[in-house]
């Protein structure tokens, strides 16, 4: 991955408290896993930035390398990767997600 893309991802991740890289947008998710994480974040009452990885192939591939996480969605909080749908769902079910998201 080139430095420009790495910097772009880093700026996005660090530029908002909570960032969800997803297929589609919060208002029009384009996969079930993305829709589920959006629903959880809404239940948690968390403000988040959504980034549609389907509109930027370089970003989509670069994120896999940046995060060392092969699938989407990818949720970041406080500049760190939280995980994908399974991890977010599990944290939500145990009540730990609010703390991870800094609520």
pLDDT computed for residue 103 by the predictor: 73
pLDDT computed for residue 20 by the predictor: 98
Contacts of 84 (CB under 8 A, 6+ apart): 33, 37, 69, 71, 72, 73, 74, 75
Q: For the chain of 103 residues, list the mean pLDDT of each consecutive stretch of 10.
A: 93 96 97 98 96 96 94 96 97 95 83
In the numeric block, the tokens 């996969």 are attached to 31
pLDDT computed for residue 18 by the predictor: 97
Positive/negative CA dihedral, 73, 78, 82, 88: negative
**Domain CATH for 91:** 3.40.30.10
pTM value is 0.96
Asked whether the beta carbons of 21 and 54 are under 8 A apart, the reply is no
pLDDT computed for residue 1 by the predictor: 83
With CA atoms as reference, report the closest residue to 56 among 89, 16, 22, 91. Answer: 22
Q: What domain range includes position 48? A: 3-100
pLDDT computed for residue 102 by the predictor: 84
Domains in the chain: how many in total?
1
């Amino acid at each position: 991955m080139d430095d420009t893309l790495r910097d772009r991802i880093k700026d996005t991740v660090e530029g908002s408290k909570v960032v969800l890289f997803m297929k589609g947008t919060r208002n029009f998710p384009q996969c079930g896993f993305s829709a589920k994480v959006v629903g959880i974040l809404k239940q948690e009452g968390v403000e988040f930035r959504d980034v549609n990885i389907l509109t930027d192939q370089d970003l989509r591939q670069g994120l896999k390398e940046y995060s060392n996480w092969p699938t989407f969605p990818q949720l970041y909080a406080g500049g760190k990767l939280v995980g994908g749908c399974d991890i977010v769902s599990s944290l939500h079910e145990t009540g730990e997600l609010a703390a991870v998201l800094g609520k």
